[in-house]
Amino acid sequence: MPSDKLRVFTRYLPFLLKYGLKFLYQRLQATVHRRTYCSLPSPQTVLVIGGSFTGVWLARRLTESLPSGYKVILIEKNSHFNYLFNFPRYSVLQGHEQQAFIPYQGLFENAPEGIFEQITDEVICVREGDVELRSGKCIQYAYLVIATGATQSPPAKLLASRKGEACAELRVLQTRIKEAERIAVVGGGAVGVQLSADVKSFYPDKKVVLIHSRGQLLSNFGVRLHEYVVGKLAALGVDVLLGERPATPGDGKWESAELILKDGRSELFDLVIPSTGQTPNTSIIAGFAPSSISAQTGRILVKSTLQLEGDGKFDEVFENIFALGDVAETGGPKMASAGMMQGEIVRENILALIRGEQLAEYTPLALEGALKLRLGKDECVMYIQEDDGTDFMFPGKNGNVDLEAAKAWKMFGAVFEEEANE
């Protein structure tokens, strides 16, 4: 029987070839665009709210394709790009946390003059034709893209928006992990699994318990991945409790607590780290488009074109407003790769509206949900699941202890050696 790695390569080879050719064509288009774009007075604005993976990718692609007379404004409250993939590791590993915060500037330094502007601020209100920022400033838009993602409890995402304060936030958790002897991680998603494995890898003498409310870890994925991960956690010495939903400290702080299990038993932990749930960041449109927020999931409802879905009365108003990524009910997985694929659809559709052409529709692909899960200091596993339940799984090895942070900095056009030591 062929290995999963061979099966997945064979299965997705046509897609990879197609995507590779498309990528080369995009690079050629970007080169031509850079030489032909002209900065004009009073350009119309494509406003992108949210500077994580999805928003940054879209903004960058727009700088490579918008016609003269248009510009991109990216609004993001964080001073630096938060490289979320490495937050679990840098919650445990001391002295490396600064490498998870990458300067934005290098991403757009090759963009045509006048096509891009970044504002470090927070949108508090969306209106027809403009948005209001926390600073009190208002920004007009011709097209609006909402890529605000979802809020998660630290350390999946952090509370601080400035690099120095965010690093200090991670250092607090590092210290508490180092000092604690009995640690409970509550929540068996990707962050909880990776955090538990890292704590036990770097501090093998500590007692680490991973507690999950359902009967399967990583509940959005297949049973085969769950069984593999449970085995790897057991080999590391992590205890796993399934079907448990103990009350955790309500303030979300990392502190000691007594957790009550469903059979009545109680266990005292020196440190409890909640790692549960996501809350979509939709408050900015709650007053403007309440009918576009799902009552079931809290996400923004969108059409297959990723334009806002209203109640019929506002279709014309919403024609120039898009939502994508974790904040939107797109039908795709809540993964960075899916957000980037959706970003390409939004880019195409903004250009189509400018040109008066037919809009493209987003169709999720299984490959967008591919998961790379770190399982301690040395190991990881890749997992892909098709809609029909067919899955592919193959183990691998992690890179260096920084999880190849230098590659991420290079991708952002940032100088790793200088910035990482600030």
Least confident stretch, 314-323, 359-368, 407-416: 314-323
Taking residues 250-264, report their average pLDDT.
84
> Domain 43-152+279-367 falls in which CATH fold?
FAD/NAD(P)-binding domain (3.50.50)
Q: What is the rounded CA–CA span in Å between residue 192 and residue 218?
A: 9
Average pLDDT value over all residues in the chain: 93
Least confident stretch, 139-148, 292-301, 397-406: 397-406
The alpha carbon of residue 419 and the mean position of all alpha carbons in its chain are separated, in whole angstroms, by 23
Assess contact for 259 and 99: CB atoms under 8 A. no
- 181-277+369-403 shares the fold of 43-152+279-367: yes
Question: pTM of the entire structure?
Answer: 0.93
pLDDT band at 417 (very low <50, low <70, confident <90, very high): low
The pLDDT score that the predictor gives to residue 13 is: 86
Instruction: Say whether 49 sits in a helix, a strand or coil.
Output: strand
CATH superfamily label, 181-277+369-403: FAD/NAD(P)-binding domain (3.50.50.60)
Strands in 123-127's sheet, in edge-to-edge order, are 123-127, 130-133, 138-140
The full set of domain ranges for the chain reads 43-152+279-367, 181-277+369-403
Taking residues 17-33, report their average pLDDT.
90
pLDDT band at 4 (very low <50, low <70, confident <90, very high): confident
Q: What is the rounded CA–CA span in Å between residue 220 and residue 133?
A: 36
pLDDT per position as a tens digit, 331-367? 999 999 999 999 999 999 999 999 999 999 999 998 8
Q: What is the rounded CA–CA span in Å between residue 72 and residue 149?
A: 19
The pLDDT score that the predictor gives to residue 399 is: 77
Structure tokens at 144: 């609006």
Q: How far is CA 350 from CA 32, 84, 347, in A?
A: 19, 28, 5
Residue partners of 237: CB distance under 8 A and separation at least 6: 200, 204, 208
Query: Diameter of the chain by CA atoms?
Result: 70
pLDDT band at 247 (very low <50, low <70, confident <90, very high): confident
pLDDT above 90 for 316 = no
Residue 279: what residue type? Answer: T
pLDDT above 90 for 15 = no
Q: How far is CA 310 from CA 156, 283, 292, 302, 317, in A?
A: 31, 16, 5, 8, 9
Structure tokens at 33: 């665009």
pLDDT per position as a tens digit, 180-203? 999 999 999 999 999 999 999 999
